[in-house]
Amino acid sequence: MSSRKEIHDRVLNATGKQELMDAYKEWADKYDADLIDEMGYVAPVIAGKLLLRYIKNPGIKILDAGCGTGLVGAFLSENGCTDITGLDYSQDMLEQAKGKDVYQSLVQGDLTQTLDIERNAYDAVISVGTFTSGHVGPQALGELVRITKPGGLICFTVREAAWIEDDYRNEIARMKKGKAWTALEEKTSDYIQKEGSTCKVCLYQVAG
């Protein structure tokens, strides 16, 4: 059994999907305790609070894209949201999310590909901890726009190192210029407190 640090490093430095899934398979049942209790992973609450500030009706359809073990879904559910779908590539993480009993449905899907989801399917999409090193790159942002209704909200975090390495700034600027969305909030925030990492927390409204 790998240590918490060893698994975390494997997740961040994975060079392929299978390597990443193998790491998550080993980590799934200890993920919440390790990240929340031991490492101070605050991004789910910070992003969740930001989205909630802009939601007028808690009954809207929300997709938790890259839901992992369901940390974001649990927070949104605790704060009144009732129609949340969780999507993740790791079946092991989805099994952990299922145990929280906060999702209307759970779907396995790959954010680096076109999702098997209709256009304009959701009122809001939130994605926390997914746009990071070794996971999903900025090209997936267009897919989030595709599945969000006109006027809908997209809230996501990007780990600071990935923001720089993968050039999110240019992709986001391109989408703004193309009028795919408009920025409501963009800020730098704590990500995992005990490792001193930060992230960009972004909220956009889809054109329409």
pLDDT of 10 above 70: no
Tell me the domains of the chain and their CATH numbers.
Answer: 41-206 (3.40.50.150)
pLDDT of 30 above 80: no
84 in Cβ contact with 51 (< 8 Å): no
What is the distance between the alpha carbons of residues 89 and 67, in angstroms, rounded to a whole number?
A: 9
CB atoms within 10 A of CB 147: 21
Beta bridge partners of 147: none
pLDDT of 135 above 90: no
From residue 45, give the alpha-carbon distance in Å to each of 10, 38, 165. 24, 16, 25
pLDDT of 1 above 50: no
What is the model's pLDDT at position 7?
Answer: 55
What integer is the mean pLDDT of 125-129?
Answer: 97
What's the order of all strands across the beta sheet hosting 61-65? 105-108, 83-88, 61-65, 122-131, 148-159, 197-206, 181-192
70 in Cβ contact with 92 (< 8 Å): no
| pLDDT digits 0-9 by tens, 52-106 | 999 999 999 999 999 999 999 999 999 999 999 999 999 999 999 999 999 999 9
What integer is the mean pLDDT of 13-22?
Answer: 61
What is the distance between the alpha carbons of residues 15 and 194, in angstroms, rounded to a whole number?
A: 25
Please report which confidence band the pLDDT of residue 208 belongs to, taking 50, 70 and 90 as the band edges. Answer: confident
197 in Cβ contact with 160 (< 8 Å): yes
Please report which confidence band the pLDDT of residue 134 belongs to, taking 50, 70 and 90 as the band edges. Answer: low
Smallest Cα–Cα separation from 32: which of 206, 40, 141, 182? 40
